[in-house]
Amino acid sequence: MKYKALALDLDGTLTDNNKELPERNKEAIFKAIEKGVSVILASGRPLFGITPIADALELKERGGYILAYNGGQIIDCKTGECLHKRILPRDCMEDVCRFARDNGVWALTYEDTTVVCESDDDPYVVREAKCNYTTVKKVDSLIDYVDYEVSKFLVVGEHKKLLPVRDAILAKYEGKVDAFFSEDYFLEVVPANVAKDESLKILLEKIGLTTDELIACGDGMNDIPMLKVAALSVVMENGYDEVKKYADVIAPSNEDCGVAAIIEEYLL
């Protein structure tokens, strides 16, 4: 079998528009695993936001992997072992919060199983919480509250207001921190060189595979790195036009179980 690993974005790719896992996708993934395919859930979500999907796919029992925070953490679902972890440098976090405040947008991060932010009613903050099946813990000062290690900050708001935040972060922390969009309204802030391509390379090497054996499915801007390195790059019909430029195959939309269609055609 030519392809032995399948990397799947979640939102807009594996899940439907209600953030639910379609039964057809689930059954196709079960069949792929039975044929020996390594299934990898690759998402910008925090670990706790990916775990419900991993549980629905029974990856703890069947085997599989999670790339959380765009690859800031790599987890072996079967053993629970953290295979790789990257942490944001502390000195950048205060500036991320300040740049966000100065531009009228919100910075947030994660604690245990909640989103932590200085707002609990901003629509973009609420959207991130819903994406992760959780709630928002409102704090007076995010930077004063966060006294623990974090793999990612997310800055949320209107795209035009996020652009100067991104530029300020990249200008001050070049080589230490990356800032990129997963959606027009979500600016991901992660340690330098944390992206789905680099984390997939790390994981594949650990499990004895290469990108020549990888199918990657995505729809968003943060999926572009993994689409560029995969042997077969799949973009969902609902994906951004910019992302579709990197596709070998355009699959049916996430609402039409495009992931299952790809598995059925290329893996089963």
Are 214 and 227 contacting, i.e. CB atoms less than 8 angstroms apart? no
Number of Cβ within 10 Å of residue 202's Cβ equals 14
Q: Are residues 115 and 185 in the same domain?
A: yes
Identify the DSSP state of 209: -
Identify the DSSP state of 253: P
CATH of the domain at 15: 3.40.50.1000
Q: Are residues 59 and 138 in the same domain?
A: no
Are 134 and 115 contacting, i.e. CB atoms less than 8 angstroms apart? yes
Are 75 and 202 contacting, i.e. CB atoms less than 8 angstroms apart? no
Question: Which of residues 138, 158, 191 is at a domain's end?
Answer: 191
Q: Are residues 16 and 79 in the same domain?
A: yes
Q: What is the pLDDT of residues 109-161, one digit of tens each?
A: 999 999 999 999 999 999 999 999 999 999 999 999 999 999 999 999 999 99
Q: Are residues 95 and 187 in the same domain?
A: yes
User: What tokens were used for 206?
Assistant: 């650990």
Sequence-distant (6+) residues with CB within 8 A of 24 are: 257, 260
Q: Which pLDDT score is estimated for 1?
A: 75
Q: Are residues 81 and 210 in the same domain?
A: yes
How much helix, strand and coil, in percent to the nearest 5, is found in the chain?
40, 25, 35
Are 232 and 266 contacting, i.e. CB atoms less than 8 angstroms apart? yes
In 3D, which of 64, 22, 21 has the Cα closest to residue 42? 64
Q: Which pLDDT score is estimated for 247?
A: 98
Q: Which domain holds residue 210?
A: 5-85+194-266
Q: Are residues 94 and 159 in the same domain?
A: yes
Pairing of the two strands 73-76 and 65-68: antiparallel
Q: What is the pLDDT of residues 238-254, one digit of tens each?
A: 999 999 999 999 999 99
Q: Are residues 157 and 240 in the same domain?
A: no
Q: Are residues 201 and 224 in the same domain?
A: yes
Identify the DSSP state of 37: P
Q: Are residues 238 and 259 in the same domain?
A: yes
**How many domains, in total, are found in the chain?**
2
Number of Cβ within 10 Å of residue 79's Cβ equals 10
User: What tokens were used for 152?
Assistant: 């990612």
Q: Which pLDDT score is estimated for 239?
A: 96
pTM of the complete model beyond 0.75:
yes
Positions of E strands within the chain = 5-8, 38-42, 65-68, 73-76, 82-85, 106-111, 114-117, 136-138, 153-156, 177-183, 186-191, 214-218, 232-236, 249-251
Question: Which of residues 159, 191, 223 is at a domain's end?
Answer: 191
Q: Which pLDDT score is estimated for 95?
A: 96
Q: Are residues 126 and 159 in the same domain?
A: yes
Q: Are residues 96 and 176 in the same domain?
A: yes
CATH of the domain at 131: 3.30.1240.10
Question: Which of residues 172, 191, 210 is at a domain's end?
Answer: 191
Are 154 and 186 contacting, i.e. CB atoms less than 8 angstroms apart? yes
Q: Are residues 26 and 71 in the same domain?
A: yes
**Residue ranges of the chain whose pLDDT lies below 50:** none
User: What tokens were used for 252?
Assistant: 């049916």
